[in-house]
C-alpha cells in the first residue's frame, strides 16, 4: 500500500497506532512482535508472494549471524553477503546481463522475466551493513524478533532510509510512551507525515505532467524542442527530490509516531556548491553506505591519489547500477564518479571556485545527469540533450509555474526535519497541520495517485 493512499492513511496506520499504543501499555513484551507482524502485513499488501522471500532472507541471515557468534568462522559472513548479492542479482540483474550478452550475435541468452520484489535493494543493504559490522566486531548478536524488525520495519522497508543497526537497535528496548516528551514526539511525527504528503502531492506529483510526456515522446523517437527539453529536465530534477524526500519525511514521521527515530536523509541538496557537497546532502544514508562499505574497503583515500580516484569512480558506478539494471543508470553513476574525481583533483591543485560559481556548475551538472537517470534509453536521453543544446527546431514552449514553485521551496526553504523540530508546539500549528492533512486527502481523491519513484529501485 502507498503512504499516499486512503487504505494506508485511513485504515492501516490508525489501526496500527491504536494496536501499538494498547500493547505498549498493557503488554510491553509484545510490542516488538506486533511491529514485526504489522510490517509483514504492510509488505504483503503489495504482493503476498514475496513475503516468504523477505521472511526467508531474515531467518537465513540471522542464523548465519548466530553461527558466526558460535564458531567465529571467517568464511560465513562473506558467503552470506555473497548469497544476499546473488539473490538481488537474480531478481534485478539477470535479465540486464542477458540483454548485454545478446548484443553478441548468435548468443541468445534467455531472459527470466522475474518480477522485482519491492524493497529488495534496501533490505539487502541492511543485511550487508549488519553482517559486515558483525564480522568486524562492531555489532553484537540480536534476537530474531529484533533483527526481523530492523530489516522489515514498515516505514523504511520499501525505500529507506538505509538505517544502521547502531542507529535503531537500542531504541527497540525503550518504552516510547513512557517518555516525558512522548506526546511531543508523536505530534512532530504527525507533522512530518503531513508535510511529506504535501511535498509529494502538491509539489512532486504535478511535475509528472511536465516530465512524463516529454520523456515518453523522446523514447518514441520524436525530436524534442529546447523548451520541452528544459521543462522535462528541470521538472524531473525537482520531481524526484520532492517525491523521494517527501517519502523520507513520511517514513521519519511514521516511525516517530511509533517511538523510533530514523536518520535524516536529505539536507537541502540543491543548495550544494560542489558535487561532494551534493552527495553529503542527497540520499545521505546511501552516501554513507557507499562510503563505508564500498569506497573505504576499496582503499579510499589511504593508498594514493590514483587508487582514491579509481575507488571513487567504481563506487559511484556501482551505486548507479544499484539504482537500476540499465546502462543509463551505470552511465549516470559513472559520470558522478568522474565528477567527484575531478573535484578531488581540483582540491589537490588548490583550485578555489567561488561559492556562487560552484553552485551554478553543480546544479547544471546534476540537472544534466538526471536526464540519463530518467530516460529509458541512450537514444531517448540523446533526444533530450539535443533539445537542451538547441539542436532541434521548434518546441520552444516552456511550462514554468510548477517548476518555479518547486525550485523556490527546494532551494530557499528549510528541510521538513529541521522545520518540524524548530516549530514550538502551538494550537494554531495543530489546526494548520489538520487543514493541510484534509487538503492532501482531498487532493489524493481528486487526482491520479502516483507511485513513489524510488519504489522501482
The angle formed by the CA atoms of residues 292, 283 and 348, to the nearest 5 degrees, is 60
Closest to 226 in 3D by CA, of 384, 379, 401 = 384
Q: How far, in Å, CA of 191 to CA of 399, rounded?
A: 31
- Alpha carbon 241 to chain centroid, angstroms: 10
The three three-digit cell numbers of residue 453, written as one number: 519513484
Burial class (CB in 10 A: 0-12, 13-18, 19+), 356: exposed
Residue 82 three-state SS: helix
The three three-digit cell numbers of residue 62, written as one number: 540471522
Q: How far, in Å, CA of 319 to CA of 27, rounded?
A: 43
Is the Cα torsion angle 203, 289, 158, 214 positive or negative in sign?
positive
End-to-end CA distance of the chain: 17
- Helix residue ranges per DSSP H, 258-326: 275-281, 284-290, 305-323
DSSP state of 71: H
Q: Is 336 a catalytic residue?
A: no
Q: How far, in Å, CA of 26 to CA of 29, rounded?
A: 9
Q: Which residues contact 311 (CB under 8 A, 6 or more apart)?
A: 295, 298, 299, 300
Q: How far, in Å, CA of 59 to CA of 56, rounded?
A: 5
Distances (CA, A) of 276 to 42, 139, 173, 271: 36, 29, 37, 12
Name the catalytic one among 20, 127, 283, 323.
323
The three three-digit cell numbers of residue 121, written as one number: 535493494
Closest to 148 in 3D by CA, of 243, 35, 44 = 35
Range 110-114, long-range pairs (CB < 8 A, 24+ positions) = 114/90
Residue that is written with C-alpha cell 546502462 in the block: 327
- Helix residue ranges per DSSP H, 27-92: 31-46, 51-71, 76-92
Closest to 66 in 3D by CA, of 150, 161, 160, 143 = 143
On whether the CB atoms of residues 406 and 203 are closer than 8 A, the answer is: yes
Catalytic residues: 323
Amino acid at each position: 500500500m502507498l503512504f499516499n493512499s486512503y487504505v494506508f492513511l485511513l485504515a492501516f496506520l490508525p489501526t496500527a497506532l491504536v494496536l501499538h499504543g494498547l500493547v505498549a501499555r498493557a503488554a510491553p513484551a509484545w510490542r516488538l512482535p506486533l511491529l514485526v507482524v504489522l510490517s509483514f502485513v504492510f509488505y504483503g499488501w503489495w504482493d503476498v508472494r514475496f513475503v516468504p522471500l523477505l521472511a526467508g532472507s531474515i531467518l537465513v541471515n540471522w542464523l548465519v549471524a548466530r553461527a558466526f557468534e558460535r564458531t567465529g568462522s571467517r568464511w560465513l559472513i562473506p558467503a552470506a553477503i555473497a548469497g544476499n548479492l546473488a539473490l538481488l542479482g537474480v531478481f534485478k540483474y539477470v535479465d540486464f546481463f542477458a540483454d548485454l550478452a545478446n548484443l553478441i550475435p548468435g548468443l541468445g541468452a534467455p531472459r527470466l522475466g522475474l518480477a522485482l520484489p519491492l524493497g529488495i535493494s534496501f533490505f539487502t543493504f541492511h543485511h550487508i551493513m549488519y553482517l559486515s559490522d558483525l564480522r568486524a566486531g562492531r555489532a553484537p548478536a540480536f534476537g530474531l524478533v529484533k533483527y526481523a524488525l530492523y530489516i522489515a520495519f514498515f516505514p523504511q522497508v520499501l525505500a529507506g532510509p538505509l538505517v544502521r543497526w547502531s542507529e535503531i537497535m537500542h531504541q527497540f528496548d525503550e518504552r516510547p510512551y513512557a517518555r516525558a516528551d512522548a506526546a511531543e514526539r508523536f505530534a512532530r511525527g504527525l507533522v512530518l507525515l503531513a508535510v511529506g504528503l504535501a511535498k509529494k502531492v502538491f509539489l512532486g506529483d504535478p511535475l509528472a505532467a511536465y516530465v512524463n510526456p516529454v520523456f515518453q515522446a523522446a523514447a518514441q523517437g520524436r525530436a524534442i524542442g529546447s523548451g520541452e527539453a528544459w521543462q522535462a529536465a528541470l521538472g524531473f530534477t525537482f520531481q524526484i527530490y520532492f517525491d523521494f524526500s517527501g517519502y523520507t519525511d513520511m517514513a521519519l514521521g511514521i516511525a516517530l509516531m511509533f517511538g523510533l527515530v530514523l536518520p535524516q536523509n536529505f539536507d537541502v541538496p540543491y543548495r550544494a556548491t560542489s558535487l561532494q557537497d551534493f552527495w553529503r546532502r542527497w540520499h545521505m544514508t546511501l552516501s554513507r553506505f557507499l562510503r563505508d562499505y564500498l569506497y573505504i574497503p576499496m582503499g579510499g583515500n589511504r593508498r594514493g591519489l590514483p587508487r582514491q580516484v579509481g575507488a571513487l569512480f567504481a563506487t559511484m558506478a556501482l551505486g548507479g547500477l544499484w539504482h537500476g539494471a540499465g546502462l543509463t543508470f551505470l552511465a549516470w553513476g559513472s559520470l558522478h564518479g568522474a565528477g567527484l574525481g575531478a573535484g578531488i583533483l581540483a582540491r589537490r591543485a588548490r583550485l578555489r571556485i567561488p561559492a556562487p560559481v560552484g553552485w551554478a556548475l553543480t546544479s547544471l551538472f546534476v540537472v544534466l545527469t538526471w536526464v540519463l537517470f530518467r530516460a529509458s534509453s541512450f537514444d531517448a536521453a540523446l533526444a533530450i540533450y539535443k533539445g537542451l543544446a538547441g539542436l532541434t527546431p521548434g518546441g520552444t514552449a516552456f511550462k514554468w509555474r510548477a517548476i518555479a514553485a518547486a525550485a523556490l521551496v527546494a532551494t530557499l526553504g528549510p528541510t521538513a526535519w529541521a522545520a518540524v523540530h524548530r516549530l514550538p508546539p502551538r494550537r494554531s500549528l495543530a489546526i494548520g497541520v489538520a487543514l493541510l492533512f484534509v487538503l492532501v486527502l482531498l487532493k489524493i481523491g481528486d487526482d491520479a495517485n502516483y507511485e513513489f519513484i524510488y519504489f522501482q529501485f
